[in-house]
Amino acid sequence: MGRAVQATSVDPEGLAEPDERPCSIGAYPDGPLLVRGSFDLLGPDGERIAVRRRTIALCRCGRTRTAPFCDGTHKAAGFTTRTPAPARPPDAAAAVAAAAPASPRG
Ligand code: FES
């Protein structure tokens, strides 16, 4: 079950008030990156992106319609941060096959 990101303080113009806490970034399981504290969010052109919350969620599934922010689409998309088991190295597979007893049928 996900936890909603709440705005902690918003000024009348809709921008977050300065936050003196050091910046921290946390990865939400199967979801966005949560950024808290004092930070500047810059776009690809280096321009500052207005932040309306002191805690923001940045998309890491790549499917949001409100980039760079998470819009919750990751849930419908089935995005997961769980990594699959590593593939068995080819050498290990060959060693297992060579060590196996020969089939009695041939
Ligand atoms: S992580 Fe939420 S929409 Fe991408």
* Whether the CB of 58 sits within 6 Å of ligand 1: no
Q: Which residues of 7-45 are buried (b: 16+ CB within 10 A; e: fewer)?
A: eeeeeeeeebeebeeeeeeeebeebbebbbeebeeeeee
Q: What is the pLDDT along the chain (106 residues), one digit of tens a residue?
A: 344 433 334 444 556 666 788 999 999 999 999 999 999 999 999 999 999 888 999 999 999 999 999 999 999 999 999 877 777 666 766 666 777 776 555 5
Structural domain includes residue 62? yes
Structural domain includes residue 61? yes
Counting ligand 1 atoms within 8 A of each CB, the residue from 5, 64, 80 with the most, and so the one to mutate, is 64
Structural domain includes residue 94? no
Q: What is the pLDDT of residue 8?
A: 39
* Whether the CB of 61 sits within 6 Å of ligand 1: yes
pTM above 0.75, yes or no: no
Structural domains counted in the chain: 1
Q: What is the pLDDT of residue 66?
A: 95
Q: What is the pLDDT of residue 82?
A: 87
* Whether the CB of 36 sits within 6 Å of ligand 1: no
| Residue numbers of the domain that contains 41 | 1-82
